[in-house]
Amino acid sequence: MSKRRTFSWLTGLALGALLLGAVAGPATAGAKANKVTKIGIATPEKAVDYGWNQQGVAGARAAAAYAGATLIVQDGIGYDNVEPVLNRLARDGANFIIAQASGYNTIAPRVAARFNVPVITYDSPHDLKKGLVADIETSSQQGAYLAGVLAAKTTKTGTVAVVISAADTNWFKQTGGFITGARSIKPKIKVLFEEIGQAAYDDAAGGKRVASDVIAAGADVVFGNGDGSSFGYLQAVETAKVGHKVWFIDVIGDKTPIDKHHVLLSSVLWDFRPIFKKAVDDINNGTFGTHNYNLNASTGISLLKTPYIAPAVWALIEKDRAAISAGTIKIPLTPTEAQVKALLNK
């Protein structure tokens, strides 16, 4: 994953920031916590996005319930004031901090060392430090492979598309997985690929534009990799006037509550609950920081089941997911645009 997580979103739905549990006294430098009793999470955007931020907070809430711990949520903090927020979480008694953005992975280890508080980061595997710092990497291509299988089983035009919001490592990996999954069903399927811009994560207008372009070119299933831009993808699919049904496959979260036009075919879900719970166990038994974590088809990546997926197709998806977890389905790793284009041209 590239060094970013600018998951800005254009939804105005209000869930609000969450604050569970009383605030404890300041953490003392050098004091070692033997058990997780309070979890803190910091996210760049508000946890109302049906995506990265909301999924992170949901995972933290589940981990807190699992541990019998209280939870402090600091969401919508952006990137300019991160260190004071993480410091405050530590001073308020958090003895496990989730720094929910790869853009926090320089600051979070400093806070961990300063307050002797275990911190989990993203996309910084070399910062591993026993008792203090562990990292989460993603095998996002695994869920995208399943999305490709679904798209190939669904398309009526024989053309599907991937649209991405930025030159982002995860989006490139997911594009490669999607192409491979689609071709496993239909080797000659046409896969279109468009990018909004280098860092157009929250460009909903751009998202609508590129999704409309691929729909006009014949795609009747659009796999949208974006943040705020994903709302633009969704709008393009909802308003498509091409004489046939067009479907949308989303990433990370579940937009079912806002799918008023019944076009959300599925989503590649990123469920952080299993990894956050495992991190709690590792902190409690003294093994945190001795290994990193990988979000994959065995640890939290799956495909959203909707009523629009035929039972036989879902059975195939579940079979392929098991095969991916077992290592019998091999998916190429395409973390760069050049690798994606090489795969497209094969």
Radius of gyration of the chain (CA): 20
Distance CA 344, CA 341 (A): 5
Distance CA 130, CA 287 (A): 7
DSSP classification of residue 165: S
Number of Cβ atoms within 10 Å of the Cβ of 79: 13
- pLDDT at residue number 26: 38
| pLDDT tens series, the chain, 346 aa | 433 443 333 333 333 333 333 333 333 333 344 489 999 999 999 999 999 999 999 999 999 999 999 999 999 999 999 999 999 999 999 999 999 999 999 999 999 999 999 999 999 999 999 999 999 999 999 999 999 999 999 999 999 999 999 999 999 999 999 999 999 999 999 999 999 999 998 899 999 999 999 999 999 999 999 988 999 999 999 999 999 999 999 999 999 999 999 999 999 999 999 999 999 999 999 999 999 999 999 999 999 999 999 999 999 999 999 999 999 999 999 999 999 999 999 8
Do 118 and 99 meet the contact criterion of CB atoms below 8 Å apart?
no
Residue type for position 40: G
Distances from the Cα of 25 to the Cα of 92, 93, 106, angstroms: 6, 6, 26
What is the full DSSP assignment across 6-71? -------------B-S---PPPPTTPPPSS--EEEEE-SS-S-SSSHHHHHHHHHHHHHHHHT-EE
> What is the location of CATH 3.40.50.2300 in the chain?
38-138+272-295, 141-269+310-344
Which class for 326: exposed (0-12), middle (13-18), buried (19 or more C-beta within 10 A)? exposed
CA 192 centroid distance within chain: 22
- pLDDT at residue number 1: 41
Beta-carbon contacts of 49 under 8 Å, excluding residues fewer than 6 positions away, are 7, 9, 11, 227, 228, 253
- pLDDT at residue number 202: 87
Distance CA 196, CA 190 (A): 20
Top CATH class, 141-269+310-344: alpha beta
Handedness of CA 334, 339, 340, 344 (dihedral sign): negative
- pLDDT at residue number 63: 98
Collapse the DSSP code of 343 into the 3-class scheme (helix H, G, I; strand E, B; otherwise coil) and give the result.
helix
Residue type for position 154: T
Tokens of 310: 């035929």
Longest Cα–Cα distance of the chain, Å, equals: 66
> 38-138+272-295 is classed in which CATH architecture?
3-Layer(aba) Sandwich (3.40)
